[in-house]
Amino acid sequence: MSVLKKIGLSFLGFVIVFVGIGALLPTRFEVERSIEIQAASATIHEYVGDLKKWEQWALWRKEEPFLEVTFGEITTGVGASQSWQGDSGEGSLSIIMSSPHHGIVYDLYTDGGRYKTECVILYEDVYATGHTGEPSNINNTLNNNRKTTKVTWRMKGDMHSPIIGGYLGLTMDAVVGALFEQGLMELKKVVEAH
């Protein structure tokens, strides 16, 4: 058997394995990151519920400095929206639920609306014991009347593309998760300096 034929068969074998594994991988993905912030949920919501304030903590502009963002007529609360266009593509988001006590839910559309992801930024009170749930009587004493709120940023979606979509779904946690972590750290800095 010639060397060229061996290379060809090896390549064909690789392609078959790549396609076979890709076909078995799930195309759905979920990314979630959390952080505790020394502030009441209503204070955090001032920055999360207002899309114009996202520039203070969300790192999209640092990742892509020439990103063009266009805000909708409403920029806070339910119905708030924005769209963007940049080197990495275009997209839009729209807030569909907003509560200063619970957080926001928004739909994120990318690739000209081809892909929709469901996103939430949730608030949960953390009490003196370090657990979520019912407050203890010593909470105010330990925190000098400052609340601690756990903020969770979550994204769920589907790549809708068999084979390649499964591989792309595997990368979402690493890529988007890193952006969420950095964004939450910036949110913490901005809110706690408030």
| pLDDT tens readout for residues 84-120 | 998 878 999 999 999 999 999 999 998 887 889 999 9
Angle between helices 164-193 and 3-24 (to 10 degrees): 60
- The three-point CA angle 86-92-98 to 5° equals 140
Q: What is the CATH number of the domain that holds 120?
A: 3.30.530.20
> What would the pLDDT profile of 139-184 be if each residue is shown by its tens digit?
444 444 568 999 999 999 887 777 777 777 777 788 889 999 999 9
Taking alpha carbons only, the member of 154, 150, 123, 120 closest to residue 37 is 150
Return the closest-CA partner of residue 176 out of 122, 124, 117, 123: 117
Asked whether residue 74 is domain-assigned, the answer is yes
Confidence check: pLDDT of 33 > 90: yes
Whether 5 is covered by a domain: the verdict is no
Mean pLDDT is highest, among 6-10, 121-125, 169-173, for 121-125
Q: Is residue 79 part of a domain?
A: yes
Of the candidate ranges 17-26, 53-62, 156-165, the one whose mean pLDDT is the lowest: 17-26
11 in a domain, yes or no?
no
Is residue 13's pLDDT more than 50?
A: yes
pLDDT (0 to 100) of residue 19: 66
Structural domain count, the chain: 1
129 inside domain: yes
Element (H, E) at 122: strand 115-126
Residue 85 counted as domain residue: yes
The boundaries of the domain holding residue 169 are 27-193
- 127 occurs within a structural domain: yes
Sign (positive or negative) of CA dihedral 185, 187, 191, 194: positive
101 in any annotated domain: yes
Q: What is the mean pLDDT of residues 49-70?
A: 87
Of residues 6 and 21, the one with the higher pLDDT is 6
Going by their DSSP bridges, the two strands 115-126 and 103-110 should be labelled as antiparallel
Question: What is the tally of helices (H) and strands (E) in the chain?
Answer: 5, 7
For residues 49 and 51, give the distance between their C-alpha atoms in angstroms, rounded to a whole number.
Answer: 6
Is the model's pLDDT at 79 over the cut of 80?
yes
